[in-house]
A and B are shown apart, each in its own frame.
Chain A
Amino acid sequence: MLEIFLERFRQKSRTAAFPRDLPSLPPRFRGRPFIDTGRCDGVAGRECGFCAAACPLQALLLEDGKPALDMGMCTFCGECARACPKSALVFTTDWRLASTIRKALVVRPAAYQAPERPDAGQTASEGLTSPNSPDNKRRYALPELPLAPVTALDSVFARSFRLRQVTAAGCGACEADLNVLGTLVYDMERFGLDFVASPRHADAIILTGPLPRNIQTALKDCHAAMPAPKVVMAVGACAISGGMFRNISSAAVGSVQGASPHVDVNLFIPGCPPHPWTTLDALLRFIAPHSVSE
């Protein structure tokens, strides 16, 4: 018994003071992409398209010759940033990726603006470009993505929001990084967020994985079993768009998509898998926006 108490002190208190103190992610973390319109001007006066050619999943397409990167399909592998000859496309270490608007997940070229304070914002993810590039010092303060809180339901959901996690045909990585939200570093229960066992007790489905044929009935049954009002959150590229399984069709599994053709999605949380801070930030801004307003 004494040993257990002593170990408690040795292990220290580990819960992060989020959202008061913002997390600092490893320098190689690939978060929100930024495309500098000033630099994205092609090679030798012609559109180059190297980024689109490098994307293994066609998550980055060219619109009128300019890149449009859909975070809802992206696995954040970084190949497009590696391929860019002008360092116009970078992944920043900004973990705030979620939106309630599907189209807002598409990143298009924008003008670079230095943050107001020189130490504000995020850096570019390390290891994708030459270590000597002057860009490594650049900092990015990107405008927040639109995320409308569940205002109409605020009085119902505020400070008590129960999640029923449904794993579609996911690989287990998104589930693993949802599970950690319950561990003591993230400790989402202090915000009134918790996973529940029964859809009857749930306010939201938090969905991971793509939706081939064999799992579609289970998702629909679970959704139908939940009392209204209810919301659906799609976590990870697979649940948002089908991810690496998107548009793949075969007799064995049917046509694989994300959640959208099967249930209406209210909140999109990109990543492969999303970092736990990405998910916690999204959940807080969705249900208790006052707790994260700066």
Chain B
Amino acid sequence: MSAASITTTTRRDAVARHLLSGGTPEKISPSDALPLRNGATAPLDAVPVMDFASFRHWLTALLSAGCRITAFFAVPRGDDGKDDASFFLYAVVADDNAGLLRLARVGVCGAYPSLTRDMPALHLFERVIYEKWGLLPENHPWLKPVRFDNPTGPAAGEMEFYRIAGDEVHEVSVGPIHAGVIECGHFRFQCLGEEVLHLEISLGYHHRGVEVLLTGMARSRLLPLVEAVAGDSTVAHTWACCALLERLSGVLPTSRGQHLRALALELERLACHTGDLGAIAGDVGFLPTSAYCGRLRGDWLNLSAMLCGSRFSRSMIVPGGATFDVDAALARDLVNKTRQTLRDVEGAVRLIWISPSVMSRLTGIGILPSTAAASLGIVGMAARSSGLALDVRHSHALTDLPEPPAMCTKKNGDVGARAALRHTEVQSSAAFCANLLENIPSGAICAPNWRNFTRPLAPEHIAVALVESWRGEVCHVALTDAKGDFAAYAIVDPSFHNWAGLAYALRGQQISDFPLCNKSFNLSYCGHDL
């Protein structure tokens, strides 16, 4: 008996080979689409409108050449006044080798031929668009609710789950409330004995309608909301939003402000990676590393609190720069504490690598092969652990930033690889922080005109920003209307791409390995649900 495959096998080998070799896209005319640098803006008119056949051809060609879908969303046209059900589908594609984002759109009405069978990375985007706007992706292989945002539709978790028939097959149902201190979501396992044949993940319990709220609310109220999109990635989401607001309001972030943001971003990464290394150890019952890393994660959070008063970097980042400065004494203190905490993390994590009983539980468990990772559009830390060299700090760097920590990748794609990758990134991020604090440029931490963002923004523009959170790329896209308000706002948290990777990695694993696999990805529920 074998479980049906979500992913198609066509082209994914080619895509993975391409990503692994770092080649350049071929046979694509970049002039077809609007090229944008990360954090840049352009008039909405500059985004070419394609017919569906060319759009499909363009997207397929880019994705098979190793580019990635970063955002895919629908915006009501409203401009022609002819048809209420008339929309533009926008695609934002990351061309990592060129360091560019490529944008195009297509007008659709009511329904369009699904692109998921050719490009599995689009599967969830198409489902969300259908759920939100009723735009039917015809022939979508897995058209189920995502965020359950229709008050007259099914309640959260009410859907037809994929089931495997057979006398000895049984089903395990977990959630929405889980056993630990964790967000809510529903998991449905199809098992044969201990073996998981298929895991289906149904989320949406945390749906707060963030994207819709952002378009409607007073912009003076916006920052606290963006900080709470995903609480463990506050810096990444706030930075991405501020990058958009800056370009749309004509504010230039200061160099020192950019450096302070980079510092806060790496502190966030250090805390989360350290905490997850401890949690991985905890899930195999290895208490020493679990206990030490639980404490050390807090020590990293305390560095964020020394910087800005909040362990989760709340109120640290505003358009134009940062709100809290680092003087020489604080910088010295932070450098010393960074080195000291890194030393303790090294000691705690080393115990994992020298304990055969732990390593045997991490090795070969929850494998996400690079081919599947590329095909599903997995990003960030999980993609790098499967051998894909994706890191927007390198490929789509924002301006005025120091050289990012060296990119590292691991080959195996198992829990061990994800743990090892986090360990390596802790080392490189800590070195980066210490170096940054010793070489921070002088000047103002924030642009004097930073409050411009509450005034009307550049009208009828589009802006895109990517920031590499500890989990992977955070993407924010904003469209403005003729009055300079947001006409649409799209957020793609790395979890949105990566939940499918967790489901894939659990295929053929023991159900008891689920917590371990889950923790190695540690995806955000609220970032997915928005």
Smallest beta-carbon distance A3→chain B, Å: 6
- Is B455 an interface residue, CB under 8 A from the partner? no
Smallest beta-carbon distance B486→chain A, Å: 15
Please indicate the chain A residues that have their CB under 8 angstroms from the CB of B155 in the complex: 214, 217
Given A25-B305, A172-B183, A184-B291: A253 and B231 interface contact (C-beta under 8 Å): no
* A277 to B325 alpha-carbon distance, docked (Å): 25
A7 in contact with B288 (CB, 8 Å): yes
* A10 to B349 alpha-carbon distance, docked (Å): 13
* A243 to B225 alpha-carbon distance, docked (Å): 9
Smallest beta-carbon distance A258→chain B, Å: 13
Of A98-106, A112-120, A163-171, A280-288, which stretch is located at the interface? A163-171
Smallest beta-carbon distance A156→chain B, Å: 24
As a 0/1 sequence over residues 1 to 19 of chain A, the CB contacts with chain B under 8 angstroms (1 = contact) are: 0011001101100100000
- Is B497 an interface residue, CB under 8 A from the partner? no
In the complex formed, the residue of A with least CB distance to B155 is: A217
B344 in contact with A11 (CB, 8 Å): yes
In the complex formed, the residue of B with least CB distance to A181 is: B181
Please indicate the chain A residues that have their CB under 8 angstroms from the CB of B406 in the complex: none
- Is B56 an interface residue, CB under 8 A from the partner? no
B182 in contact with A4 (CB, 8 Å): no
- Is B180 an interface residue, CB under 8 A from the partner? yes
Count how many pairs of residues, one from A and one from B, have CB atoms less than 8 Å apart in the complex: 201
* A69 to B353 alpha-carbon distance, docked (Å): 51
- Is A215 an interface residue, CB under 8 A from the partner? yes
CB within 8 Å of A: which residues of B?
A: 147-151, 155-156, 176-177, 179-184, 204-209, 212-213, 217, 220-225, 227-232, 234, 275, 288, 291-292, 294-295, 297-298, 302, 305-312, 314-315, 323-325, 344, 347-348, 350-351, 354-355, 524-526, 529
In the complex formed, the residue of B with least CB distance to A256 is: B208
Given A57-B221, A214-B207: A180 and B298 interface contact (C-beta under 8 Å): yes
Given A176-B232, A210-B208, A212-B208: A195 and B312 interface contact (C-beta under 8 Å): no
* A52 to B294 alpha-carbon distance, docked (Å): 39
In the complex formed, the residue of B with least CB distance to A243 is: B228
* A254 to B205 alpha-carbon distance, docked (Å): 13
Residue from A7, A57, A209, A210 in contact with B351 in the complex, judged by beta carbons closer than 8 Å: A7
A215 in contact with B307 (CB, 8 Å): no
A244 in contact with B231 (CB, 8 Å): no
Of A35-43, A74-82, A137-145, A262-270, which stretch is located at the interface? A74-82
- 5 shortest A-B CB distances, which residue pairs? A173-B231, A171-B231, A28-B309, A197-B179, A183-B294
* A127 to B311 alpha-carbon distance, docked (Å): 16
* A176 to B220 alpha-carbon distance, docked (Å): 27
In the complex formed, the residue of B with least CB distance to A167 is: B183
**Contact residues of A between 194 and 245, Cβ < 8 Å to B:** 195, 197-198, 209-210, 212-215, 217-218, 222, 238, 243-245
In the complex formed, the residue of A with least CB distance to B303 is: A26
Smallest beta-carbon distance A90→chain B, Å: 13
Please indicate the chain B residues that have their CB under 8 angstroms from the CB of A26 in the complex: 302, 305-306, 309
Chosen A-B contacts, 15 in total, with CB atoms closer than 8 Å, are: A4-B351, A11-B347, A28-B324, A75-B227, A78-B309, A167-B184, A170-B231, A172-B230, A172-B524, A173-B231, A175-B182, A215-B156, A248-B213, A250-B209, A253-B208
Given A7-B288, A212-B208: A14 and B231 interface contact (C-beta under 8 Å): no
Smallest beta-carbon distance A245→chain B, Å: 6
A172 in contact with B231 (CB, 8 Å): yes
